[in-house]
Each structure stands twice: as structure tokens, then as C-alpha cells.
Chains A and B, each alone.
Chain A
């Protein structure tokens, strides 16, 4: 699933999470397929983001997983001998791997 600004939402995208307003009231439930009218209505209600299924949009900051993991390893290169920081390295790595698998 991917969280995207409502301005990038298109018809036929499917909601992966319910949409709620600022007071926490549910406006639209998970699983609904977006239609033009619905997108316009959500815009009028001030909704800024929606979470949709899959990974339909490539944002400028996104890179392939292998490249992300390589850069991550490089950032930890000066603290390789600290087992506590290796725990942090592992935690971030396994989170990224799990998240990307869900997208596939």
C-alpha cells in the first residue's frame, strides 16, 4: 500500500485504509474504488492524503531497495564495531525489506 496526496489520486485506485476527517469521523471505508465524484467530495471535505493499494506512484525520493540497502550500509560504516548500532541497522533493514515485499 502507498500513502499519496489526494491531488495525485486517480479513478480506479483502491483504498487500502479508511479515510477519516480531522475529527476522526470515517468518510470512506477501506476497499472502496475511487471515482471522480468521490475524489472531488474528499477534496471539498479537506482530506489531504489517502492510502491506496499497490504502489502506483514513484516519488522523487524513492530508490530501488538494493540501492537503499547499500546506502544504509555505507552510512553505518564508521560504527561497524558497535553491536548496539548494528541492532538499529538490522531493524531498519528488515523493516524496509518487509514493506517492499508487501508492495509487490
Chain B
């Protein structure tokens, strides 16, 4: 193993202390893994943590999930949305914050892939579309970590993309001794004990055929990534549409007519996200804001 690879793995092991996964989240992750955990038990733990409670409620009511009704308590959220959605929400809120504080255009790309994953999952009738949405949001987690933990390597990667006009994934491999963001995402999510339905799309969104248990979900995130890069929303490190995996395309079974139905749904969601991120950027559309 190359020296740089060993160094990266060592650093990643110490990332467990990142503020993004506070002890309460680790505790909840364990509870989620236990089949006997009940919804009230879960609500009790979340509600004990005011910060997490407000984060979960903010998230549930944000344009990201786009639920039509306002949800005001965690118990309500669990009853209305179910166990799986809350599980993903808890994981998401913590990581979401880390992404938001970093590069906004990468965050926009991730939000876009989340929205596209949700639309595709619903269109194809997959179980738990909310979890596929979350997998979409987290698919580039490795890039977030590279930027925040290895800033100088990250700059080298960006420079190489520009200089050689290659995909960011290829540049990462050159600079990181053969590793890329999907490996790093995989290492980290395994360390955090995230469920496989999240870790597989993160690890294999560029090569969905490697996915063992959640191939369909991984294929959805793979194509959602392509859709969002094609649309040009956000920036994920290079400006090109990446190659399409043949098996994933066959599994999705999408035709031109399907795309014609999916694209308007995506357009609507991206517009919502643009207003949402505009607000976060502090460039919201207030009463006195004139864009004319």
C-alpha cells in the first residue's frame, strides 16, 4: 500500500471524533440497529437533545424533503413519517451541517442528486424512497472529507482536473495513491456503522455493478448523479457528465418517454432547491429585494 494511502486511512480512523457525529447520534444509530426499539423510545432520546430536535424538525419541514404539512414535534414526525425516514433524518442532519459549512456548490450538487434519487425511486416504485434520497445526499461524502481534512491534496486534485481535463475521480486516484472519494466515503460510513442501504450507494455510485444487496438503489443514485451533472446544477469537482453503467441502465429500464415524465418533476424540485440554497447563502428574496 502506498504511503499516502496509509496516511489517509490513519487520518480517517481519527475522524470518528468529528463534531458531525455527536454521542447522541451514535447512540441513536445503535438503537436503530436494534429491532426491539420502539418509536416512543426513539422520540424520547431525540427530544432530550434540543439541538438535534430542532435540526430534525428544520429538516423535516425544509424544501429538501418537501412534505406538504408542517410537522412540529419529533413524536409527530415519527408517527407521520415512520421509523426509516427518521433514522435517515438523524443521520442526514448531522452530516448535512458539515456539508453546508463547506463548499456550497458541492452541497448543491448533493442536494440535487438527493432530489433526483427521490424522484427516480418513487417513479420506479422502490421501497423507502426517502432512504434513497438520503443515499443521494451522502453519495459524495468522500469529497466533503477530502476537502475538509486534506485541503492541500484537494487543491492538487482540482488543479489536475483543470490541467489534464480529466474527471475528478481520475485526478483523485492520481493524487491519493489509487484511492478516490467513493473509497473514502465507504471507509467512513463503515466506521460510523451506517446501514448498508446507505453505504452501498456511497461506495459504488460510479460502479453500481459492484453493489451486492442494494443494486437497484445504487443504480438510482448512479443515474441521479448523471442527471444532475447533465442539468448543470451545483458543481461536483469537474464539469462533465460521467460514463453510464450498462447494467444499471438496463436495471432502471428508462426510455425517452420516461425521461420526458421525470424531467419536469426534476425541474420543479431544482427550482425549490435554488430558492432554498439562495436563502442559506443569505441572498434570500425578502420584501425589499428587487431582482428586476
Contacts and interface: CB of A to CB of B under 8 A. Distances in A.
Q: Do A and B bind each other?
A: yes
A24 B67 CA distance: 12
A72 B260 contact: no
Most buried by B among A5, A56, A71, A91: A91
B286 interface: yes
B251 interface: no
Contact of A7 (B243, B268, B287): B287
B244 A7 contact: no
Size category, B interface: 35 or more
B259 A91 contact: yes
B291 A76 contact: no
B292 interface: yes
Contacts of A88: 226-227, 230, 259
Nearest to A10: B292
B292 A75 contact: no
Given A75-B229, A79-B244, A85-B226, A95 B292 contact: no
B244 A85 contact: yes
A57 B231 contact: no
A3 B285 contact: no
B291 A5 contact: no
Contact of B285 (A8, A84, A85): A8
B227 A61 contact: no
Given A88-B226, A90-B256, A95-B264, A78 B241 contact: yes
B163 interface: no
Interface in B216-265: 226-227, 229-232, 239-244, 249, 256, 259-260, 263-264
Contact of B230 (A3, A49, A58, A75): A75
Contacts of A60: 278, 283, 291
A77 interface: yes
Considering the complex of A and B, which 10 residue pairs feature the smallest CB-CB distances, nearest first? A91-B259, A5-B285, A78-B240, A95-B263, A7-B285, A75-B241, A79-B241, A76-B241, A22-B68, A8-B285
11 contacts: A3-B271, A8-B285, A8-B289, A22-B69, A58-B292, A68-B232, A72-B230, A75-B230, A82-B243, A91-B259, A95-B267
